[in-house]
Structures are given as structure tokens and as C-alpha cells.
Amino acid sequence: MKAYFARHIQVFLATLGDLIRHPGASFLTIAMIGVTLALPAGLYVGLLNLKQLSHSWDRGGALSVYLHRGASGQAAVAAMRRLPGVQSVRYISPRQGLREFEQQSGFGRTLTALHENPLPGVVVIRTPSSPQALTALVAALRTEAGVAHVQSNLAWLERLDAALALGHRLVMILGALLGFALILILGNTTRVAVVNRATEIDVIRLVGGTDAFIRRPFLYTGALLGGLGGVCALILLELSLLLLHDPVHNLAHLYASKYSLTGIGGGDALKLVVIGTILGWIGARWAVGRQLRQSVQ
């Protein structure tokens, strides 16, 4: 068993040595794999950032209830407090509403030109954002006296979530396709390597080398190239994030937000390298197996 591991380590070191001695062709392959992996990984990181952004939104303050003109704000608030699922209630009287609107919109003068306050009273209800509870609450509110209209502020967030879920699925599909591409890239590299070493393989077979013995260095090369491709993808990703940092920072500043991009986490980075390694191994295994079956023993 010890000898078995010693042999594997020996082959691994020999593979690494080969790679260091002939870096040219390997570098191209690694770069190709890096780009292939960086694309879905980059989209994935982008998606994570969007998700984080959507979660940072205040999900409370979910419902705006517009009252009929002349309906009593006090009575409405008192009634709504008693409904199940209501966390807190805030009443904005028509006058208050007008003031806030003037301040925030800069339409102050236009509105003072109106003879009469056009705004209804509004009750803003905070509620824990479970979709079922929300629908029930909306239905209950509609039957309250004095209620003209109930608007859920969560609708667009739900739409965003749905879009993000779609994006997530698309990234998965793209990732699977590009993972397949990676297998093909390494399969082809391995095939060329096997063909180049046909005489050596013949001789190894003639002196009693098993197919497993012949395969081993090619598998290590494939796995190593795949893993290094993963590292290359990480470098590309970090460089892209570095380039995006300042523009995003400026944009966030304009929105008075402290938002900044998050990079790929340690766990995901490790996953990327491991995926590269595994796909590299699979590509090499597939190609070398095919080649060895084609050449007669």
C-alpha cells in the first residue's frame, strides 16, 4: 500500500516536472480552461451580488392602504391593528403626505397651485413577508371600512426574485455547457499527447505495463491542468472585480448606498478549483481510454 502511494506521488511529481519544463503548450491550455470557467463563475458572482442587493432592501413596510376621502384615519388604524399578521401600523394623513411629497419630489410649487389637497390618507402596514400571510392580509384589508385601495410594495421584489431564480438556472445551464466544453478541451489535449507518445506506449505495453499504468500520467496531467485552469479562472475573476470596484462604488454613492461588490468566497473558490480538477480528470480519462482501445494491444 505504501509502495502504491509512493508510485502515485512519483508519477504526480514527474507530471508536475514535465509541466514546469514545457510550460508553453500547457499555459495555453490552462488559459483556455481559465476563460471557460471564469465565464459561468463570473455570472454566478454577479448573481450573488444582485441577490444580496435585493435582500438588503427593507422588506417591511410592505403594504400601502389608501383610504377613501373623508374616512377616519384613527378608526382605520385602530381596526387594522387588530388584523392578524400586522406588525406595525403608521398613518400618514393627507396633509402629512403632501408635505413629504413636496420635500421629496421638488414639485412643491405645482402642488400649492392646486386649491385642494389631492392626496388620500394612507396607512403603511409592516408585516412579516411570507407570501401567503401577505395575500390573506390584503384580502382582509380590502373588506375594511374606508379602504379604497391596497397596494403591495413587495410585488416588484417578488418579480426580481423570480428573475434572479431564472438567472440562477441560466447560469447553471451555461455552467454545465462550459463544463462539457472543458472536458472536450482537455480530452483533445490528452488525445494529442497520447498520439505523440504512441511509441512509448507501445514499448510500455510490450514490457508488461497495464493500461492503468499507461493512463496514470495522462490522468494526472489532465487533473493538474484542470485545477490550474480553475486557479486561472479565479485570477481572471478577481481582476474583473478589481476593475469593477470603482465604477460600482461611484454608482452606489450616487444612490447614497454603501453597497460594494463581494468577490467569490473562499468556499466557492475552492469549489471552482476542485470542479476544474475533476472535469480535467474526466476529460483525460475519456480521451486516453478511447485512444488505448483504438490502438491494438
Partner 1 sequence: MIELNHIFKRYPGGNEALSDVSFAVDKGELVFLTGHSGAGKSTLLKLISLMERPTRGQILVNGHNLGRLSPRRVPYFRREIGVVFQDNKLLNDRTVFDNVALPLVVAGITGDEVRKRVQAALDKVGLLARARGYPLTLSGGEQQRVGIARAITHRPVLLIADEPTGNLDAAMSDEIIDLFKDFNDHGVTVLIATHETRHIERLQKRVIALGRGHMVAST
**Residues in 140-199 that interact with partner 1 by CB under 8 A:** 199
Task: Give the interface segment with partner 1, choosing from 62-70, 126-134, 210-218, 262-270 (CB under 8 A).
Answer: 210-218
Rule CB under 8 A: is residue 204 a binding residue for partner 1? yes
- Judged by beta carbon, residue 132 or residue 199, the one nearer partner 1 is 199
Residue with cell 485512444: 291
Among 114, 207, 243, 254, binds partner 1 (CB under 8 A): 207
Among 7, 8, 22, 169, binds partner 1 (CB under 8 A): 7
**Residues in 119-138 that interact with partner 1 by CB under 8 A:** none
Q: Could you tell me the smallest distance in angstroms from the CB atom of residue 196 to partner 1?
A: 11
Residues in the chain: 297
Say how many residues touch partner 1, by CB under 8 A: 19
> In terms of DSSP H, where are the helices of 82-207?
94-105, 108-113, 131-142, 155-196, 198-206
Host H or E run for residue 147: strand 147-152
- What is the C-alpha end-to-end distance of the chain, expressed in Å? 28
Cα–Cα distance measured from residue 118 to residue 95, given in angstroms and rounded to the nearest whole number: 10
Tell me if 59 sits within 8 A of 155, measured CB to CB.
no
Rule CB under 8 A: is residue 47 a binding residue for partner 1? no
Rule CB under 8 A: is residue 200 a binding residue for partner 1? yes
Rule CB under 8 A: is residue 206 a binding residue for partner 1? yes
Rule CB under 8 A: is residue 6 a binding residue for partner 1? yes
- Three cell numbers at 279? 472535469
Dihedral angle computed from the Cα positions of residues 37, 38, 42 and 45, in that order, rounded to the nearest 10 degrees: 70
- Residues lying near partner 1 in the complex (CB under 8 A): 3-4, 6-7, 10, 199-200, 202-211, 213, 297
